[in-house]
Chains A and B, each alone.
Chain A
């Protein structure tokens, strides 16, 4: 432990070498990504080399890394000066560029700016501002010693606990926003579509959270149950002409059944082994759907899946003869947006059902047994918990919600094919659960917004989009290795003070 305020020795040469190495790595990576661009052969050479981007990226990485090293060694002043100068300059040029419109200033600004994409430039400016703020903070609090990783982890833990505390307020607030979202000003069809997508993934995340977060069973094939749900609805509609509301529970039951079918033989496996088997199951389902051409239509998929109705009222512009549609029944002007709004509320309701179910079952013996099983299976057995049956309930209930989600997906798209149910889907849903903090309901909401919403919003980023996705994942895992909001809330809260626990019967009723 160093004395407060004492500065650790700073190895300038080492830091320079380190920054150089980082810059070299960045240059190597960006040469392929940014340095060469394929273009139409008729207008010049087929490959256009643009090394200015590479040089800019490498230089920025060099100075950024050097700045971080200086900050670590508590040499904040040079960083403060450099970062503020850079941030000010970049922000000024960016503002100038936007303000000047298409004028000469804009052309000049564009020439000076490090990258072509405004989003990247703004991100850079924000990063520079953050660095200056950090340097300034260090200068102000020069007397405090730096936290070691353990203390930082503890502090983040407390932060997580506090956010969970806020979640009691944030939850209803988010819910309120979610309910009025379609009627907020500035919400157009595109944003609403993104919202539907995000809520779908929130629901799937909550469903998978039962399996992974509560019961601790690593399931890499969750998409299989999603697919079973989607195909259950599509095939029932195709062969038996059943509507969405009849098929929704049926699809849930089918998926739960698929969960039991898979779970029964494999749930004796643990950890990595279980993960591999579930991964295999996900692929098996997809390959069956792909190859059973006579039944599932194979790679051509199933189209014309009926849209959902509101108590029998379809959302069509021209309903069939003698039938009312939503707008004619309520005497409204037909709007194609109605259907999207309805879909949004449908998935919101499904997601809320999933959430309420999870919150409720955590307080019941079976939910508690799931969490206990995750922590110590041997102890559970010695307390009389039947491990396989308990895991099976978690697995099948999680699968059921996946099935609901799948049905919704089918009815939203109107067309499904095995291509929608690849391993990538499982990976994304799992990433949402893990990044959110295993078992944290509100964390999953944030993670879904971050992982699904942001890439959609940042479609302008084009080729950088997946880069931003990866960056978000890496950042979360570095700062919050146990997930955004990894803090387990006890299922029972006792409000009075423990010293006068006069009526334990009252308190312990969960």
Chain B
């Protein structure tokens, strides 16, 4: 059963259209990644799934329900969580308060268990829970952003460049946690990445985006082996 289905999506900012008919399908239990160059429209796709910017044409379905016209908070309440581009944590609030904000939409009775789960995934957050989130390092902030998204018990987790600006060791750690979330908590993950090598190794399937269109798709392994992909995104990169 498909958790997220995007059909012929057009979206943009003002008169500039960034997405020209995008089709995506994410099935339950999958990790799907979307790779592409800067400015290809990856983040726009992720944002417009959440209704900002709104789709001008096309259709977005979440768990079989049409969410194309729903306001953002209503979409999120249906079980979709996003760790947005640039992390967007609340810098002046403490780590714990950030995580509490993540649990805005859920039953308060789950809170302690969910918090414990996030602290198990990222023990550093437990140590820093009283600290102002703005004083965390980049990697810790990324962990907080993912942890905050997980606090809402999502069925689908959208991640926008979780490896951006992180040291290689931290990148590996972030990705291994994403796999754990997927396997142990059975959260479906849709991941936008520039770090194509790691993302494709992690994902079951991948999409490649260029100039607002999906140009290639396939299993992670296939895409990794694809000479065009290697040339465009992997060689010299990694």
Contact = CB atoms under 8 A, between A and B. Distances in A.
B77 A492 contact: no
Most buried by A among B50, B93, B127: B93
A383 interface: yes
A81 interface: no
Interface in B94-129: 94, 96-97, 100-102, 104-105, 111-112, 115-116, 119, 126-127, 129
Interface residues of A, number: 29
Interface in B61-111: 72-73, 76-77, 81-82, 84, 88-94, 96-97, 100-102, 104-105, 111
A109 interface: no
B52 A378 contact: yes
Nearest to B106: A384
B131 to A, nearest CB: 9
Interface in A335-377: 365, 368-369, 371-372, 375-376
B130 interface: yes
A370 to B, nearest CB: 11
Interface residues of B, number: 35
Contacts of B102: 383
A492 B96 contact: yes
A501 interface: yes
Most buried by B among A369, A501, A504: A504
B107 to A, nearest CB: 12
Most buried by A among B101, B111, B116, B119: B101
A106 B152 CA distance: 76
A496 to B, nearest CB: 11
A508 B112 contact: yes
B104 A385 contact: yes
Grouping DSSP codes into helix (H, G, I), strand (E, B) and loop, the A interface class, with mixed when no group exceeds half, is helix
A372 B101 contact: yes
B10 interface: no
A505 interface: yes
B73 A384 contact: yes
A371 B119 CA distance: 23
A504 B130 CA distance: 13
Contacts of B126: 498, 501
A384 B104 contact: yes
B148 interface: yes
Contacts of A498: 126-127, 129-130
Contacts of B96: 490, 492, 494, 508
Contacts of B72: 381-382
A205 to B, nearest CB: 20
Contacts of B90: 371-372, 375-376, 379
Contact of B93 (A387, A490, A493, A501): A490
A490 B100 contact: no
B111 A508 contact: yes
Nearest to B112: A505
Contacts of A488: 92-93, 132
Contacts of A380: 101
Contacts of A499: 127
A117 interface: no
A368 B52 contact: no
B101 A504 contact: no
B83 to A, nearest CB: 9
Contacts of A492: 94, 96-97, 130
A494 B129 contact: yes
A420 interface: no
A369 B96 CA distance: 13
A291 interface: no
A504 B116 contact: yes
A39 interface: no
A386 interface: yes
B152 A383 contact: yes
B104 A376 contact: no
A303 interface: no
B105 A504 contact: no
Interface string B142-153: 000000100010
B115 A508 contact: yes
Contacts of B115: 504, 508
Contact of A490 (B52, B84, B119, B130): B130
B82 A382 contact: yes
Contact of B92 (A368, A375, A387): A375
A387 B97 CA distance: 18
A246 interface: no
A383 B50 CA distance: 11
Interface in A457-510: 488, 490-494, 498-499, 501, 504-505, 508
A371 B93 contact: yes
Interface string A404-423: 00000000000000000000
Contact of A382 (B84, B100, B111, B116): B84
Most buried by B among A371, A376, A380, A501: A376
B97 A368 contact: yes
A206 to B, nearest CB: 20
Interface of A: 365, 368-369, 371-372, 375-376, 378-387, 488, 490-494, 498-499, 501, 504-505, 508
Given A383-B102, A508-B112, 4 more contacts: A365-B104, A384-B152, A488-B93, A490-B97
Q: Which 4 A-B pairs have the closest CB atoms?
A: A384-B105, A384-B76, A379-B88, A490-B94
6 contacts: A368-B97, A490-B130, A491-B97, A492-B130, A498-B129, A508-B112
